[in-house]
Amino acid sequence: MRLNIPRFHWFLIILSAFTISACSGGEETVAEKPAPVHIESGDECHVCGMIISGFPGPKGESIAGDSQRVRKFCSTRELFAWKLQPENIHQNDTLYVHDMAQTDWDNPADTALVDARDAFYVAGSDAKGAMGPTLASFALEAEARKFANSHGGRVLRYGEITLADVSGGMAMGEMGDMDH
């Protein structure tokens, strides 16, 4: 028994079968988040050019998803000063900061790096980082509140931080005039 189907219809049937098989071929793979990179003794801050090690307070880093390019920052303040710029704010990069509840303020250990977007920050405290006032970073809100109770400031989530929080009340132009 031969089916009497016009050639054009055969073409559509084959094309449909091909399209369905191509669409259902494989599972989409989600890119795995890159691990934090250790801060080495000679690493320089991406924003100010200072050598990062040897300064107190939390540091930060950005790892670009597409190129795996790593940018390191001498403080969370510098990380946010860079990240909040219009050309950087929408980049899909992985960000890390030190969880200061897990490490010493004067010598933060890279084993305490946590996802910056999940962290809690204390802005306006009396604690100083590499560039003076900085944002104290914590993995847990309770630790951030405890720090704020001892050192002043207010607790913020990643998405709540603005350039005003980063500048510490100074105009952004004055930030470049600070002593390093």
Domain boundaries, the chain: 60-169
- Identify the band that residue 6 occupies on the pLDDT scale cut at 50, 70 and 90: low
Q: State mean pLDDT over 124-150.
A: 96
Whole-model pTM: value is 0.77
Alpha helices by DSSP H, 30-140: 76-83
Q: What is the maximum alpha-carbon separation in the chain?
A: 90
Q: Please answer whether residues 109 and 129 qualify as being in contact, where contact means their C-beta atoms are separated by less than 8 angstroms.
A: no
- Can you name the residues that pair with 96 across neighbouring β-strands? 61, 115
Q: State mean pLDDT over 78-90.
A: 94
The more confident residue out of 163 and 15 is 163
Q: State mean pLDDT over 121-128.
A: 96
Model confidence at 157: pLDDT above 90: yes
**Cα–Cα distance between 180 and 178 in angstroms, integer?**
6
